[in-house]
Amino acid sequence: MSTTIKLSSNIIRAALLHAAVKDVRYYLGGVLLEPSSNGLFIVATDGHRMLVHRDYTVTSLEQPTIIPTELLKVVKSSHDAVEIIVDGDKLTVTPFKKGKADLTVSGSRIDGRFPDWRRIVPTVKADAAPGIVDARYAHDAAEALRLMAGDANPVWAPRWADGGIALMTRDAAPHTFVVVMDMRETVGTAYVRALI
């Protein structure tokens, strides 16, 4: 059965900031679309940071689907929406500019199992010590949250969990968060092991 998913292009652009590039774990080289009982999760991670967005408008996807980043790279800042058609293993991605379809690309979904991303969502604690976060990851998180909020303000609010893990959020993007791992090797290694 074919499923058509329509999303803001900013969701895809924000997710691509967090997807792996040239990783041996090929299943991280894509964006996960995961159905839930009342919507859809869009998840991307490279093993050091992860973006999670929940969309309540899509309810028809039957199974988790990993879309290769190569197919999603056609989505540019000039686009306002993207249509993704999932038909078994076949995918079609069409970005829209001012309501008109732009270049359409087709390909196959990534045949693999995306990590259980819920296992790594930290529990925020008021007394948790702040961690050391890679500035590039903080920048990408701020940019993703700016895209999701739909404005030019690159602010974010860090919340800390044990081990210095940052959970970055923004009130103007209530259905999106970014997890950034502490740069200390022990925590980062534990995160990568949890993803494998």
Mean pLDDT of 123-128: 85
Higher pLDDT, 55 or 132: 55
- Would the CA dihedral through 65, 69, 74, 78 be positive or negative? positive
Identify the pLDDT of residue 132.
84
The type of residue at 135 is A
| The pLDDT of residue 22 | 82
pTM over 0.85: yes
Indicate if the pLDDT at residue 113 is higher than 50. Answer: yes
Of the listed ranges 19-23, 59-63, 153-157, the least confidently predicted one is: 153-157
Rounded to a whole number of angstroms, the distance between the first and last alpha carbons of the chain is 30
Average pLDDT over residues 67-96: 95
Average pLDDT over residues 164-175: 87
| CA neighbor of 40 nearest in space, from 2, 1, 4 | 4
- pLDDT for 184 equals 63
Question: Are the C-beta atoms of 158 and 189 separated by less than 8 Å?
Answer: no
Provide the 3-class DSSP secondary structure of residue 11.
Answer: helix
- For 41-46, the CB contacts below 8 A with 24+ separation are 42/7, 42/11, 42/12, 42/15, 43/15, 43/114, 43/117, 44/15, 44/16, 44/17, 44/18, 44/19, 45/18, 45/19, 45/20, 45/115, 45/117, 45/195, 46/18, 46/19, 46/20, 46/21
* pLDDT at position 196: 41
What would the mean pLDDT of 166-195 be, rounded to a whole number? 72
- What's the pLDDT score for residue 189? 46
| Residue 187, pLDDT score | 47
